[in-house]
Amino acid sequence: EVQLVESGGGLVQPGGSLRLSCSASGFTFTNYAMFWVRQAPGKGLEFVSTLNTNGATTYYADAVKGRFTISRDNSQNTLSLEMSSLRLDDTAVYYCVRGAGYYSYHGMDVWGQGTTVTVSS
């Protein structure tokens, strides 16, 4: 069974940092692009970041560019999102999502259950 399990969410002050992790299982991790997607309370889905199978190519939403860093460890089947200079509007549920194929342009298929990040003083 394909599974994505996020961890690392929590309460952080504005300007603080947090690292999210996603543990993947049930599929060949190295064959899929991966994504982070977030959803603010009561709002729609928002693309955050993606990276290709070897982690060499990354893309970010303008809202997080320069503050967030996506990475993957193919030896550990793990996806990460390093978040810094956090702002109030970064408060959201963050989802780890598997790409629908080798390349990110295929889109997304399997979603984790999400981890909640709350930025508040």
Partner 1 sequence: QTVVTQEPSLTVSPGGTVTLTCAFSTGAVTSGYYPNWFQQKPGQAPRALIYSTTNKHSWTPARFSGSLLGGKAALTLSGVQPEDEADYYCLLYYGGAQVFGGGTKLTVL
Which residues of this chain interact with partner 1, rule CB under 8 A? 35, 37, 44-47, 50, 57, 59-61, 95, 100-101, 104-114
CB 53 within 8 A of CB 31: yes
Spatial separation of the C-alpha atoms in residues 76 and 78, rounded to whole Å: 5
Indicate the residue among 83 and 108 with the shorter CB distance to partner 1: 108
Indicate the residue among 29 and 35 with the shorter CB distance to partner 1: 35
Spatial separation of the C-alpha atoms in residues 20 and 48, rounded to whole Å: 13
Task: Quickly tell me which residue has 């930025």 as its tokens.
Answer: 119
In whole angstroms, the minimum distance from the beta carbon of 11 to partner 1 comes to: 21
Indicate the residue among 86 and 97 with the shorter CB distance to partner 1: 97
